[in-house]
Amino acid sequence: MKITGPSLPIAPGKIAPPIAPGVPSTGGADFLTTKLDVAVQWAQSNSLWPMPFGTACCAIEFMSVVSSHYDLARFGAEVVRFSPRQADLLIVAGTVVDKLAPVLKKIYDQMSEPKWVISMGVCACTGGFYRAYHVVQGVDEIVPVDVYVAGCPPTPENLILGIMMLQKKIQSGELARHREAKTFVPIRVGEDPVTAIPAYSNAVMAHVPGRHALPGMPPSAEDEATPGGKREMDAEIAAARGRENP
């Protein structure tokens, strides 16, 4: 399907390099299966059934997207399913906090393949301006994200653009992608990745005895310097752990 219109300027910089490049070509022998793939991709991209994991403000804008002014039905994605087993597109709309992280992971695991994830809004993408003790700093800590939609909340057009970008991605054979949850690498503006939370995505679902402090964001120099800052806090946490888990 060709998307026309002046307003789909997917700049070259916006498209990530193909993640599973170089599926070896076998000549013309698999002409039929290739064509079948194209048909399947066409069908999949035009009948995305979203499961809105709506938690906050972005969920309200998602409702705008499905209501009459924007009408997501024009993209074949109007069948909003609240059951993960019936959906193939997870739209994470809104802030995901640590308490909700296991729920999100479970819902993602319950969706059947093939499945895609759109992270709607900056809270879902990076945590937004909630650099705080209870907020997941981007849902890619937990689930792999295909398209990040910026905005707080994004305009409905922007979400539709995200869905169209996803459709293009599906049509380009994105199915071959290895889709396991990533380990989280927080990106701080202008810095290289600093701290990695090892296998957080697996840990939230596993039975992990005891209490675990997440590195979260690296403490600023100010935190280190102030009395009662990070360093003293560490000691206190250690003491607290001792109390709770003798």
User: Of 62-101, which residues contact another protein (CB under 8 A)?
Assistant: 63-64, 67-71, 74, 82, 94-95, 97-101
Alpha-carbon gap, residue 96 to 103, rounded angstroms? 10
Find all residues with CB under 8 Å of 32, minimum gap 6, and list them. none
Does residue 57 touch another protein according to CB under 8 A? yes
Distance of closest approach, residue 135 Cβ to another protein, in angstroms: 6
Stretch binding another protein (CB under 8 A), from 21-29, 38-46, 55-63: 55-63
Does residue 195 touch another protein according to CB under 8 A? no
- In the set 54, 170, 179, 181, which binds another protein (CB under 8 A)? 54
DSSP for 118-163, written as a single string? EEESHHHHH-TT--STTB-S-GGGTS--SEEE-SSSPPHHHHHHHH
User: Of 196-235, which residues contact another protein (CB under 8 A)?
Assistant: 200, 203-208, 211-217, 219, 223, 228-230, 232-233
Does residue 158 touch another protein according to CB under 8 A? yes
Tokens of 102: 């296991």
Does residue 242 touch another protein according to CB under 8 A? no
Please name the amino acid found at residue 78.
E
User: Of 118-137, which residues contact another protein (CB under 8 A)?
Assistant: 122-123, 125-135
Alpha-carbon gap, residue 67 to 178, rounded angstroms? 34
Measured from the CB atom, the residue of 43 and 198 that comes closer to another protein is 198
Strands 50-54 and 116-120: unpaired
